Amino acid sequence: MAESSGSGSVSVDVERISFGGKDHLVRTRCGSVTVAVYGDEDKPALITYPDVALNYLSCFQAFFFCPEVASLLLHNFCVYHINPQGHEMGAAPMSSDVPVPSVDDLADQVADVLDFFSLGSVMCLGVTAGAYVLTLFATKYRERVIGLMLVSPLCKSPSWSEWLYNKVLLNLLYYYGNQGLVKECLLQRYFSKKLRGDAQCPESDIVRASRSLLDDKQGENIWRFLHSINEYVAIRLFFFIFFNERIHLWNLDAHTGFLSTRRHDLTDSLKKLQCRTLIFVGESSQFHEDAIHMATKLDRRYCALVEVQDCGSLVTEEQPHAMVMPMEYFLMGYGLYRPYQLSSSPRSPLSPCCISPELLSPESMGVKLKPIKTRVGISL
């Protein structure tokens, strides 16, 4: 990789390896990532980014298998699925010699992927950790994001409880790999208790399928992504000051760049976002409060929050149909529609020729629509 002098910009060495004309290996300044491309590359781009221990298949399969979603998104976009490093199907364990990327590195990787495919401004769809990466990308590269669709997003530094919970999970991954207890913790992160089942009710098919897909993941690779998204600046600062004799308070500025590369609070940056944002969160999600916090900090003129009842964090797999109608309203603001079909689904009956003007008002976006309810109206 060559690094240019003076301007501080980085020239990215890229290499394309095609698997059946769909998968591409993109070498960025922070390592290689696999990107799966679906659709007509002449159409506008939709970038997806999954949560921890998931790839585009395990995070978005039910979502894109939903006929209404497929007709809406694939009709309007070419979809570029970014897999976190080591999360693609059949990935080998990553070497411990490879540096763990920071969240800023992950956001910069997204920019490198866009450069590789010669993409300008894009629509983004991210889930939890992936939603954080894409939101950070949007704050760093505002001109390259036209809209955000976020599922159970994070936007703050980890709370003490989240940091401690993930620290236990990181230790389990480090010493025991991707084993039984780790999988249970991850499934709890993704799905509602109703789907996970109990002694009286067996777990659902979708949870069993997700458990099976987790078997393919390498513990070392999951550890790396979770470590990137969990690091707490304040705790690192504490340990650096009190447990490293080489660091003195008056010399702390030399380490500021290193410390600031960890997961940081995006709250102050959210108001500066000019793109429209649509947020989904399950009412049973561990990250429900984070999603509400994010929605309250965004400009109300450009943001809508949809809470999905009886659902965990992974709305794309648990209740993908609940996302269809809000997405249709959201994309109308860009002049994008689902193709009209005489046999359209009763779940989502909208089409360009049958939408009354009243339905496009912010007031209509504020009504409760089972199995969803909206918190913030979006201005179209």
Domain boundaries, the chain: 22-241+267-333
Q: Which two tokens stand for residue 100?
A: 């763990």
**Interacting residues of 288 by C-beta distance below 8 A, sequence separation 6+:** 152, 281, 282, 307
At residue 13, the pLDDT reads: 38
Q: What is the pLDDT along the chain (380 residues), one digit of tens a residue?
A: 444 433 344 333 333 333 333 899 999 998 999 999 999 999 999 999 999 999 999 999 999 999 999 999 999 999 999 999 999 988 999 988 889 999 999 999 999 999 999 999 999 999 999 999 999 999 999 999 999 999 999 999 888 888 888 899 999 999 988 988 999 999 999 999 999 987 788 889 999 999 999 988 999 999 999 999 987 544 444 444 444 444 333 333 333 333 334 788 999 999 889 899 999 999 999 999 999 999 999 988 899 999 999 999 999 999 999 999 999 999 999 999 988 654 444 443 333 333 333 433 434 343 333 444 555 444 44
Examine residue 93 and say whether the peptide bond preceding it is cis (omega within 30 degrees of 0).
Answer: no
Q: Which two tokens stand for residue 302?
A: 């450009």
CA-CA distance, 162 to 281, in Å (whole number)? 17
Cα four-point dihedral sign 284, 286, 289, 294: negative
Give the 3-state secondary structure of residue 104: helix
At residue 61, the pLDDT reads: 92
At 235, which helix (H) or strand (E)?
Answer: helix 233-243
Could you tell me the fold of the domain covering 22-241+267-333?
Rossmann fold (3.40.50)
Q: How large is the greatest C-alpha to C-alpha distance in the chain, in angstroms?
A: 72
Output b/e per residue, 220-245; b: 16+ Cβ within 10 A.
bbbbbbbbbbbbbbebebeeeeeeee
At residue 272, the pLDDT reads: 86
**Interacting residues of 256 by C-beta distance below 8 A, sequence separation 6+:** none
At residue 375, the pLDDT reads: 56
At residue 10, the pLDDT reads: 39
At residue 216, the pLDDT reads: 87
| Closest listed residue to residue 324, CA positions, set 343, 297, 344, 354 | 344
